[in-house]
Amino acid sequence: MRESRAIAANLARDLRSTRRRRRVTQRQLGDRVGLSQAQICALEGGAGAQTSLETWVALGIALDRPIAIGFTRDVVEPLIDAGHLDAQECTARIAAAGGWRTRFEAADDPRSPSGSTDLRLDREGVIVLTEIWNRLDDLGAAARSSDRKLARAPAGTRVLWLLVDAAANHAIVRRYPGVLKARFPASSAAWVRAISTSIEPPAEAGLAWIDVRTGRLRELRIRDRRRGARDDPASVSSDQEEPMRTLITNGTIVTAEGATSADVLIDGESIAQIGTGLAANGVTADETIDAAGRWLIPGAIDVHTHMELPFGGTFAKDTFETGTRAAAFGGTTTIVDFAVQSRGKSLREGLDAWHAKAEGNAVADYGFHMIMSDVNDDTLAEMDGLVDEGVPDFKLFTAYPGVFYSDDGAIFRAMQQTAKNGGLIMMHAENGMAIDVVAADLVADGKTDPYYHGVARYPIFEGEATNRVIRLAEAAGVPVYIVHLSARDALNAVREARDRGVKAFAETCPQYLFLSLDDLGNGFNGAKFVCSPPLRPADHQDELWTGLVKDDLQLVSTDHCPFDFEGQKDLGKGDFRKVPNGLPGVEDRVDLLHDGGVVAGRITKERWVEIISTAPAKLFGMYPTKGAIAVGSDADLVVYDPNARHTISAKTHHMDVDYSCYEGREVQGRSDIVLSRGSVIVRDGQFTGRKGAGRFVKRAPADHARIS
Ligand code: URP
Ligand code: ZN
Ligand code: ZN
């Protein structure tokens, strides 16, 4: 009872805040969603909600509209166990809540492994459909049967639609391509949206998505075809705002191809028009951003992050919420994070765990690569499915024996599989076996400070492993991508391979361009700089910059993997091998590369845009939806001030970590306004976005033959 009161209270609060945010009165909100002011008042007061189930039912009845409400399976199963979805019980509760006389037409036993249940309340044209899908196989049939029922529903039927999703719903579109018309997303919330748009509802339709764990209203959307408007013209939404038109004027558009003065019109989530003098030519917008004196660049893309990565007995500290928010402050609007397959578990479990971490939390868009810890017949077979689900890259390691390490045979098998399924193998290339020998010798000699982390991991070990994995990829006939390349030895291996015509690609990271082995000194303070591969002697840096200029290195990502100095890095006091490996950086990359690259005269501003945004989008199957300023592209945009100066510091950064590797460093260049799919999420140092607004980016395998 207490729980349901809390849910009702949350729902009430959300309605109130929706109203405040939309600046509408109760009456106006009521008009939009077809409720009387009294009904809105009652809902805002949480009236009529005695139990959580009744809350939802009450909402549906009160709305007097077709609505869809989504549950997730982990919520519903306890409800079944508690008897709430028992036919009689459920019917009685709904009747009590809304005063409706109901008739239950039973279907299958909801407890059966593949069961689905269909609860119909058909008095006075109200139908409640409850679909429980325990297995993916059921979903197509369930959707088809709902479709048939809705088709039979008389005009004006009100539908309260309770969707109970299965765990891995994102596989459905592949399996039942004919069933769902919408581009199928991975998240439960989006699934509800997708199915509600793919199954044509009666004339009026709406959608409410409520997080049933908390009762928070995440979306309330009404469609009203009678007004002859677009699909969802009368939207009252906390998850999806009304389409906004934003005009960005007077800026210099900088892309990988060149720079030009033009205005950009955003309609909803994407770029609608690019041209000179749009405002003067009568183009109107809800908001106009004057970008005079500033650049407009595509939102930066960081294809190497580790939010909440388990490592060395602890977890990387940033969550998808804090990490993507920090990224946004630094002009990065999309990240691709590494989901982890734990030893002995399936890829599926690892990927689902990462979806759960990100969904509802990320403030900006995100995709996943998959870390493979076990290569065996089962995981090899799973790889193909992941490619189809928009996770087409697999990271394997020649480092970290006993943790992520794979031997050459395993790596080769994974490469053979990607040769068939079109995916990409990403390699952490350091000879971990040899490193462990040197590290053990150093510790035995009493050399336990973090500095020796850098000493133990010879550049030649990175060069050897890089050459080896490229050779294996050549043998398997697949493209290969070397992550976090740090040493000239490894760069030479990549360059030689590319000169041979091999599809070998590589990234480096800001830490290898701006920091050096010296930073690992200074006693235990050096732990702040422990990452793998380690920081190298400073004379490697120039060659990495040359690699970027000559395109032997295609891009710069961060390998963002933050651990607090106090409480996490100090796990390695007395033994550098126990310092959790990884550095924070997702917020600093764009400015560091602008300052150290463009301002320092090493690269052009166009190449800067290419290595922070366009090349990542192309190599990782997101272009031109992302990484471009073009009509139809996502309106992920940054108004960048190339002249502003600021000082990097842990006191002011937004990453959830207690130090900065660049503390006190002054840089030129700053992201002033950051838009994610048309919404301003950062403006003049203030976060204006919303937790959970980020979407999973389903990526197609890139055509690497055309890129190289
Ligand atoms: O030190 C690093 N790079 N930590 C993150 C894990 C990895 O190897 O990318
Ligand atoms: Zn790595
Ligand atoms: Zn990494």
Residues in Cβ contact with 692 at an 8 Å cutoff, skipping those fewer than 6 apart: 218, 239, 359, 360, 361, 362, 363
Per CATH, is 2-68 categorized as 1.10.260.40?
yes
The pLDDT of residue 44: 57
Give the tokens for residue 318: 């940033």
* Ligand that lies nearest to the alpha carbon of residue 428, given by its number in the listed order: 2
Substitution site in 318, 404, 561 for ligand 1 pocket (most atoms within 8 Å of beta carbon): 561
The H-assigned helical ranges of 87-229 are 87-98, 136-152, 172-175, 188-198
Residue 655 DSSP code: S
- Which residue minimizes the CA distance to atom 2 of ligand 1? 582
Q: Which of 6, 26, 8, 10 is nearest to 236 (CA)?
A: 26
Please state which of the four CATH numbers 3.40.630.10, 1.10.260.40, 3.20.20.140, 3.40.50.300 is assigned to the domain occupying 298-707: 3.20.20.140
Mean pLDDT over 316-337 rounds to 98
What is the model's pLDDT at position 705?
61
Stretch 63-69: mean pLDDT, rounded?
A: 37
Asked whether residue 76 carries a pLDDT value surpassing 50, the answer given is no
Q: Are strands 252-254 and 245-249 parallel, antiparallel or unpaired?
A: unpaired
Model confidence pLDDT, tens digit, residues 662-672: 999 999 999 99
Q: What are the pLDDT digits (tens) for 547-569?
A: 999 999 999 999 999 999 999 99
pLDDT at 31: 58
Q: Considering only CA atoms, which residue is closest to atom 5 of ligand 1? A: 582
Question: For the segment 415-445, what is each residue's pLDDT rounded down to a tens digit?
Answer: 999 999 999 999 999 999 999 999 999 999 9
- Residue bearing the bigger pLDDT, 75 or 375: 375
Q: Which ligand is nearest to the CA of 309?
A: 1
Which region among 160-174, 427-441, 500-514, 676-690 has the lowest average model confidence (pLDDT)?
A: 160-174
Mean pLDDT confidence for 576-585:
98
What's the 532 CA to ligand 2 centre distance in angstroms? 7
The DSSP annotation for 425-478 comes to EEEE-S-HHHHHHHHHHHHHTT--STHHHHHHS-HHHHHHHHHHHHHHHHHHT-
Least confident of 204-208, 300-304, 583-587: 204-208
pLDDT at 62: 45
Query: Which residue stretches of 628-685 are H helix?
Result: none
Check residue 122 and give its pLDDT: 32
* Burial classification of residue 670, based on how many CB atoms lie within 10 Å of its CB (0-12 exposed, 13-18 middle, 19 or more buried): buried
32 vs 299 pLDDT, higher one: 299
What's the mean pLDDT when you consider all of the chain?
A: 77
Residue 306: CB within 6 Å of ligand 1?
yes
> What is the model's pTM?
0.71
What are the tens digits of pLDDT across the range 134-172?
Answer: 333 333 444 444 444 444 444 433 333 333 333 323 222
Q: Please report, for the chain, the start and end positions of each structural domain, with discontinuous segments joined by +.
A: 2-68, 99-235, 298-707
Given a cut of 50, whether residue 214 has pLDDT beyond it is no
User: pLDDT exceeding 90 applies to what percent of the chain?
Assistant: 61
Token pair listed for 290: 């004057």
- The residue whose CA is least distant from atom 9 of ligand 1 is 559
Q: Which residue has the higher pLDDT, 30 or 599?
A: 599
Residue 702 pLDDT: 86
User: Which whole-number Å values give the CA distances from 558 to 5, 352, 396, 611, in the listed order?
Assistant: 44, 24, 18, 12
Identify the H or E element spanning 247: strand 245-249
For ligand 1, is residue 569 a contact (CB within 6 Å)? no
> What is the whole-number distance in angstroms between the Cα of residue 33 and the centre of ligand 3?
47
Judged by phi (left if over 0) then psi (alpha if -120 to 50, else beta), residue 422 lies in left
Cα–Cα distance for residue pair 328/218, rounded to 1 Å: 22
Q: Is the peptide bond before 185 cis (omega within 30 degrees of 0)?
A: no
What's the CA gap between 408 and 431, in Å, rounded?
11
